[in-house]
Amino acid sequence: MTFSHPHLERLIHCIDLEEKEQVSRFRIDQQHTLKSLKAEGLALHPIQVTRKNFGYADYPEIGFRINYPAESNAFRDGVAIECFLEGEEPINGILLNLEGKTGEFRLFAPDFPDWIEERGVGIKLAPDQRTTTIMKSVLKDLPANKKLYPLFERCHDTTYIPLVPPLIQAMN
């Protein structure tokens, strides 16, 4: 796919690379074990379910508690997560909040999984495919935007020389 401006293609390629890196980084496999994800602060495991209810748009929402000190700096409100249990298909969701040892997340599923209250349930960060899809879509549609595309071209024009040098000379 080619665009009228070379920087558009480069930006979309960079977004694709970031998306692939997220998929690789957040996957549990032989290279990235659950133990290593927990040590890096990318997984909270095990969690104890404290509350279940249906929230926004009737999506299942789960309140939980962590019974141990955990590295959780990467778990910010609104981050994409997967709820998992070994041997079961993980379910995508979003972290609603996490304060100290208690938190809440929403699952993108029609109902609670049968295993949600089992021992060994955890959550881990997941690739943010929603955001990357939006970013790529906006960039692909940019050439058709009569107001924004000229601004993009001007910002990314390598021949454009801003009026900064005279300001620097005046300061010396």
CA distance 121 to 44: 9
Indicate whether 104 and 70 sit together in one domain. yes
Q: Do 94 and 50 share a structural domain?
A: yes
For residues 134 and 10, give the distance between their C-alpha atoms in angstroms, rounded to a whole number. 16
Query: Does residue 39 sit in the same domain as residue 80?
Result: yes
Q: Say if residue 51 is in the same domain as residue 85.
A: yes
For residues 123 and 133, state if they share a domain.
no
Domain that holds residue 109: 33-127
Q: Report DSSP state, residue 104.
A: E
- The DSSP call for residue 33 is -
Do residue 24 and residue 44 come from a single domain? no
101 and 57 together in one domain: yes
61 within 8 A of 96, measured Cβ to Cβ: yes
Looking at the structure of the chain, the number of domains it has is 2
Co-location of 68 and 119 in the same domain: yes
| pLDDT per residue as tens, the chain (172 positions) | 555 678 888 999 999 999 888 887 777 776 778 888 888 889 999 999 999 999 999 999 999 999 888 888 899 999 999 999 999 999 999 999 999 899 999 999 999 999 999 999 999 999 888 889 999 999 999 999 999 988 888 887 766 555 555 555 555 5
Q: Which residues pair with 124 in a beta bridge?
A: 43, 82
| Same domain membership, residue 147 and residue 111 | no
Residue 95 belongs to a domain with what CATH number?
A: 2.40.30.270
Contact 54, 23 (CB under 8 A): no
- Structure pTM? 0.72
The 10s digit of each residue's pLDDT in 3-47 is 567 888 899 999 999 988 888 777 777 677 888 888 888 999 999
Residues in contact with 169: Cβ distance below 8 Å, sequence separation at least 6, in sequence order: none
